[in-house]
Amino acid sequence: MSARHSVVVRLAGESGEGVISSGDILTQAAARGGYYTQTFRTFPAEIKGGPCMYQFRLSDEPIWSHGKDVDLLVCFNQEAWDLNWDSLGPEGSILYDVTEVTIPDEYLPRARPVRMEELAKEIGGSLRAKNMVAVGAVTGVISFDTTPIEELVLRRYAHKEGVADANIAALHAGADEAADLKGRYPLVAPVEVEEDRMLISGNQAIAVGAIAAGVDYFAGYPITPASDILEWLSVRLPQTGGLTIQCEDEIASLASVVGASYAGAKAMTATSGPGLSLMGELIGYAGTAEIPVVIVDAQRGGPSTGLPTKTEQSDLNQALYGSHGDAPRVVIAPVSVEDCFFATIDAFNYAEQYQLPVILLTDQGLATRLEVIHRPDTSQIELTPRKTSKGVARDEYKRYEYTPDHVSPMGIPGEPNGMYVATGIEHDEYGHPAYTPEIHLGMGHKRWDKLEPLKTTGRQAAHGDAHPTDVAFIGFGSTFGPVREAIDRLLEQGLSVGSFYPRILMPFPADKVIDFVKDAKRVVVPEVNFTGQLARLIKAETGIELESVAKCDGLPFTAEAIMDLVTQEVAA
Amino acid sequence: MSTRKPNDFKSELKPIWCPGCGDFGVLASLYRSMADLDLDPSQTVIVSGIGCSSRLPHFASTYGIHTLHGRPLPVAMGVKLANPELTVIAVGGDGDGFAIGAGHFPHAARRNVDITYLVMDNEIYGLTKGQASPTSLYEQKAPSTPFGNPEDPLNPLALAISAGASFVARGASFNTKALTELITQAIEHKGFSYIDAMSPCTTFNNTQESWKDAVTDVAPEHDVTDRVQAFDLALRGGFALGILYRQERLSQTERYKAILEKAKPSDVDTMLDGFNARKGAAIGKPA
C-alpha cells in the first residue's frame, strides 16, 4: 500500500480507562517524530464512567482540521463501538478489546481483536496498563517509532518504581497484536522538521500569550473547559512576578480583575458561558468606568449547564450584547491555536488602548485541542501602553475628559495628580455623578466612538480568493481550520472560493465583509450553534443575502462537511 | 505628628444624604482617622458598592472606586493585591454587604484580605426608600414587609468572627470620637478588619434615639484575642461598642508575597521552550 499523507486515529472507551492519556501520548510521540498533529476529544461531564473519545490526525504536512473518516478505530469497550462505528472511513480498520467487545459480522474482516485487558494484567501487571496495550497496538498498525513513547513513559512514571517498565512491556506486547495489519497505514515520513515546532493547546496558547502580553493579575473560578488557564497561570504567573487567585465565583473573579486593573495592573479572567453570564453586570461597569479588562470565554454547549464538555459557538450574542444598557466592549475570536497566542496579546492591547473590556471567544474544540504550531516570534510583539495621568497637572486633570480619540488619561493610585472616583453611574468629565441629556449623550459617544478605528485597523483572518466568485465563506473562531482545508481542495478543483473571518466581531468590520462578498454567487456562513447567531449579526450589519449553516450537535465542523455545503445547494 | 487635617480629605462634592443621616458621622470619623494616620490621599483607595452610604468615595479627596451593588470586597481585594502599598478601605451598607454581596464577605474574611471594611448599618434599604434589609428586625414593618418582617436578622459581627475576620469591632455614627479610634486601629491592623458602624436612617428607620439608649461599651476585661469570648459578645452582648476580636495572622498580602518568593523566576521564552514538540512537550502539565 502506498504511503499516505494523513492518518486519522480514534480511541474510544470509558472515562477512567486511560483513553485521553493514550491519545496524549500518541500525539506527543507523533509531534516528537516530526508529524503535524491536531486532536479532538470529547469526554463525559462526570469524573468516573461515561464514554470518552480522543481523535488525532497526523500528517507530514500542515493540517487544519481533525479529520472526518477514521482510519483506525480503537474500542476499549462495547459502548465505544456502539457510539463510534459510524465515524469509520470506508477503508477504516478496527482494533477492539477481545474480552469486552463484540463486532458485527460485516465489520469483522477489517477488525482485529487485541488482548487489552489480558495483556495488561499479564505483562503490564495491572488492568491500568490497558491503555498502553492499546497504544502499542496503534503503533504496530500505523507503524511509527515507539522510542519517543518509551521516553515519555519513562519520564511520566520516573518517580514510581517499576511502573514505567511494566508500561513499556505492555506497550511492546500491544505492538505485537493484530500482526497481520502491521504497516497497513504507512505514513509519508516528514522530510523537513523545523526545530521550532511546538505542541500546544488553545488554552495553553492563551495562558502563555497572556504572559507575553505582560499580564500581572489573573483571577478565575474553575469551569470546564477554561480551568486549564487558571491552573497553568497558577504555576506560571508568579514566576514572572504576577499573581493568580481562585475566587469564590465568576463575579468576584471579574470584580477583582477590575480592581487590579484600576490599580494599574494588566488583568484577566477566563471562564465559559455560565460564568460569562454572571460577569454581565461587571462588563457594563468596566465599559462605563472605562477600566481595561480581558475576559476569556471558552464556549461550551449551552444553554444553561448544557453540554459542559462539548463544543459550541453559542455565546456570540452574549459576548456581543451581554450586560444591560449599551455596554461597549471588543469581542475577538482567534481562528486557530496559534492565533490564540496572538489574539490574547491583541486583547490586552485593545483593552489597554481603549480602556474597556475585551472578550476573547474560543470554544471547547479550540481550547482543548492539541496542535503542532510554529513557535511564535516574541521579538515581534508590540505592547500598547495605557494612557495615564502621568505628567498631567493636578488642577487640569479630568479622568473622563473628551479628547480627539475619545480615550482619556487614567489616574493610577499612587500618581499624585490622577485622583478620581471610578464609577458606573453616569458622570461628567471629572467622574462626578451627572445625569443631564448632554452628558449622557456625550459619554455615550465617548464610549462607542473610540472603537471606530478598530473596524479598519483590526487584524482579520482570510484564506483563498480575496473576492471569490463562487462561494464566499464567512465564519468566526474555530471553524476557520476545516473551512480553510475545504477551500484548498475546492481551489484545486478550479472553483473560486475564499473565506473571511472577522477576528474582531465587535466593532463589526461591515465594510470589509461587504467588499469580500461583492462578486460571490453564494455567501455561506457556517457556525456551531442553533440559531445562526453570526448570520444574524452579518445580516443586521451588512444586509447581504447569505445562507446560514448553523450546526448544533456539540461537534466541530469537518472539512468534508464544508465541502458538502458547496456541492449540495443549501436552503437560504 | 500628622500634618494633614480632616478637611484635607473632603472633596468638592457635598454629601447628598438626608439631614440627620448617620453616614455624616461615619464620614466625619473617616476624615479624622485618615488625618490622624496622615494617609497620603494618592496612596489611599476608598471602594464602595451601591446604596446611600456607597456614595461616600465621591465625598473624599482620595482615589475612589464606586463599584456595583454588592461588589466592593472583591474589587478592593484586586486593588490591594495589585498594589500592596495602597491603603484600601471598603465601605457600604448592610444591604450591599449582607444581601447581594454576602457571598463575598466570608471569603474576604477567611483570606484575611488586608483591607478595612466599614459597613454603615441602618437595618434598612434607604436609597430604594425603606424596604427591609438582611439586618432588619423580626416583625419590622417596611414597604416590602407590610405584615411585619417574617425573617430574622443576620448578625454581621458573629458572621465576621466565624468566617475568619482578624479584626472585628462595632462603632456608632453618633459616637464619632470612638468610631474614629476604631477606624484608625482597623486601618493599622494587618489583615481583614470589619467595623459594623451603627448608622441610623433618619428618613425610613429612625433608630437614632433607641440606639443611643441601647449602646454600651465593650467591658474593659473582655479579652479581644479570645475568639469564643468574642463570638459570645457578638451573639449576646447587646450593642457593645468597641473591639470584639483581634487576631494576629498572616494577611493575604503576606501569603502571596511568600508564594512569589517561592516561585522560580522565568520568562515567556523559557515557557515557550517548554512546549517544544521535538523535545517532548509535557502535555497537560505546566512543568
Q: How far apart are CA A274 and CA A531, in angstroms?
A: 18
pLDDT band, residue B284 (cuts 50/70/90) = very low
Question: Which H helix or E strand runs over A550?
Answer: strand A547-550
Contacts B74 to A, Cβ<8 Å: 247-248, 251-253, 255-256, 259
Q: What are phi and psi of A500, to 5 degrees?
A: -130, 120
pLDDT at A49: 82
Question: Which H helix or E strand runs over B180?
Answer: helix B176-188
Of residues B81, B232, B285, the one with CA closest to residue A21: B285
Report yes or no on B123 lying in a domain.
yes
Q: How far apart are CA B8 and CA B97, in angstroms?
A: 28
pLDDT tens-digit readout, B103-148: 999 999 999 999 999 999 999 999 999 999 999 999 999 999 999 9
C-alpha torsion angle, residues A387, A389, A392, A396 (rounded to 10): 110
pLDDT at B280: 60
Q: Are B79 and A416 within 8 A, CB to CB?
A: no
Q: Spell out, as residue ranges, where chain A has pLDDT lower than 70.
A: 1, 569-572
Residue to substitute from B69, B253, B268, B285, interface A, most A β-carbons within 10 A:
B268
A258 has a chain B CB within 8 A of its CB: yes
Residue with cell 478489546: A97
Q: Are B71 and A251 within 8 A, CB to CB?
A: yes
pLDDT at A530: 98
Which own/partner contact pairs does A411-414 have at CB distance under 8 Å and 24+ positions apart?
Answer: A411/B63, A412/A263, A412/A264, A412/A388, A413/A262, A413/A263, A413/A264, A413/B42, A413/B43, A413/B44, A413/B45, A413/B63, A413/B79, A413/B83, A413/B86, A414/A264, A414/B42, A414/B43, A414/B83, A414/B85, A414/B86
Sequence-ordered list of residues with C-beta below 8 angstroms from that of A86, at least 6 positions apart, any chain: none
Which has more pLDDT, A44 or B6?
B6
Of residues A323, A312, A311, A315, the one with CA closest to residue A296: A315
pLDDT at B286: 37
- DSSP label of B168: E
Give DSSP secondary structure letters for A337-352.
HHHHHHHHHHHHHHHH
Q: How far apart are CA A204 and CA B215, in angstroms?
A: 57
3-state secondary structure (DSSP) of residue A46: coil
Contacts B286 to A, Cβ<8 Å: 231-232, 235-236
CA atoms within 13 A on the CB side of A362: 33
Task: Give the strands of the sheet with A504-506, arranged side by side.
Answer: A243-246, A217-220, A267-271, A293-299, A357-363, A330-332, A504-506
Contact indicator for A289, A424 with CB cutoff of 8 Å: yes
Q: What count of other Cβ atoms lies within 10 Å of the Cβ of residue B172?
A: 26
The shortest CB-CB distance from A239 to any of B62, B67, B266 is to B266
Q: How far apart are CA A217 and CA A561, in angstroms?
A: 41
pLDDT at B178: 98
Question: Which H helix or E strand runs over A334?
Answer: none
pLDDT band, residue B102 (cuts 50/70/90) = very high
CA atoms within 13 A on the CB side of A529: 25
pLDDT tens-digit readout, B13-36: 999 999 999 999 999 999 999 999
The residue type of A123 is I
Report yes or no on B151 lying in a domain.
yes
The residue type of A314 is S
Q: How far is CA A343 from CA A84, A203, A434, B29, in A?
A: 34, 12, 37, 48
- DSSP label of B7: G
A138: its cell numbers: 496503534
Q: Are A199 and B277 within 8 A, CB to CB?
A: yes
The shortest CB-CB distance from B263 to any of A27, A152, A238 is to A238
Distance in Å, alpha carbon of B65 to nearest chain A alpha carbon: 5
pLDDT at A504: 98
**Segments of A34-103 assigned E as strands:** 36-42, 51-59, 70-75, 88-97
pLDDT band, residue B283 (cuts 50/70/90) = very low
Q: How far apart are CA A383 and CA A214, in angstroms?
A: 8
Nearest CA in chain B to A368: B284
The shortest CB-CB distance from A263 to any of B82, B104, B265 is to B82
Residue to substitute from B52, B255, B259, B271, interface A, most A β-carbons within 10 A:
B271
Q: What is the CATH number of the domain that holds B227?
A: 3.40.50.970
Residue A46: left if φ>0, alpha if ψ -120 to 50, beta else—which one? beta
* Mean of all residue pLDDT scores within chain B: 95
Q: Are strands A522-527 and A547-550 parallel, antiparallel or unpaired?
A: parallel
Tell me how far the alpha carbon of residue B27 is from its chain's centroid.
14
Q: How far apart are CA A210 and CA A118, in angstroms?
A: 46
3-state secondary structure (DSSP) of residue A230: helix
3-state secondary structure (DSSP) of residue B31: helix
Give DSSP secondary structure letters for B62-124.
SEEEE--TT-HHHHHHHHHHH-TTSEEEEEEEHHIIIIITTTTHHHHHHHT-SSEEEEEE-SS
Q: Are B283 and A251 within 8 A, CB to CB?
A: no
Q: Give the count of domains, chain B.
A: 1
Q: Residue A81 class from Cβ within 10 Å (0-12 exposed, 13-18 middle, 19+ buried)?
A: buried
Sequence-ordered list of residues with C-beta below 8 angstroms from that of A457, at least 6 positions apart, any chain: none
Residue A414: left if φ>0, alpha if ψ -120 to 50, beta else—which one? left
Report yes or no on B14 lying in a domain.
yes
Peptide bond into A274 cis (omega under 30): no
pLDDT tens-digit readout, B245-254: 999 999 999 9
Report yes or no on B196 lying in a domain.
yes
Report yes or no on B34 lying in a domain.
yes
Contacts B265 to A, Cβ<8 Å: 239-241
Residue to substitute from A28, A206, A262, interface B, most B β-carbons within 10 A:
A262
Residue with cell 459510524: A86
pTM above 0.90, yes or no: yes
pLDDT at B287: 35
B276: its cell numbers: 517544544
pLDDT at A48: 77
B190: its cell numbers: 494587618
Q: Are strands B167-172 and B116-121 parallel, antiparallel or unpaired?
A: unpaired
Domains and CATH numbers, chain A: 6-181 (3.40.920.10), 201-380 (3.40.50.970), 456-567 (3.40.50.920)
**Burial code of A131-167, b = ≥16 C-beta within 10 A, e = fewer?**
bbbbbbbbbbbbbbebebbbebbeebbeeeeebbebb
Residue B71 predicted with pLDDT over 90 = yes
Q: How far apart are CA A418 and CA A415, in angstroms?
A: 6
Q: Are A235 and B286 within 8 A, CB to CB?
A: yes
Q: How far apart are CA B166 and CA A397, in angstroms?
A: 38
Q: How far apart are CA B129 and CA B139, in angstroms?
A: 18
Task: Give the strands of the sheet with B63-66, arranged side by side.
Answer: A421-423, B63-66, B44-48, B87-93, B116-121, B193-198, B167-172, B239-246, B215-217
Residue with cell 500592596: B84
Range of the domain at B230: 6-273
3-state secondary structure (DSSP) of residue B244: strand
Contact indicator for B156, B119 with CB cutoff of 8 Å: yes
Report yes or no on B285 lying in a domain.
no
A413 has a chain B CB within 8 A of its CB: yes
- DSSP label of A223: -
B99: its cell numbers: 444581601
Residue with cell 479598519: A456
Give DSSP secondary structure letters for A405-435.
TS--PBP-TT-TT---EEESS-B-TTS-B--
B146: its cell numbers: 407590610
pLDDT band, residue B44 (cuts 50/70/90) = very high
A217 has a chain B CB within 8 A of its CB: yes
Contacts A148 to B, Cβ<8 Å: 280
pLDDT at B285: 44
Angle formed at CA B189 by CA B21 and CA A421, multiple of 5 degrees:
50
Contacts A413 to B, Cβ<8 Å: 42-45, 63, 79, 83, 86
Q: How far apart are CA B277 and CA A126, in angstroms?
A: 30
Q: What are phi and psi of B44, to 5 degrees?
A: -120, 135
pLDDT tens-digit readout, B46-65: 999 999 999 999 999 999 99
Q: Are A219 and B78 within 8 A, CB to CB?
A: yes
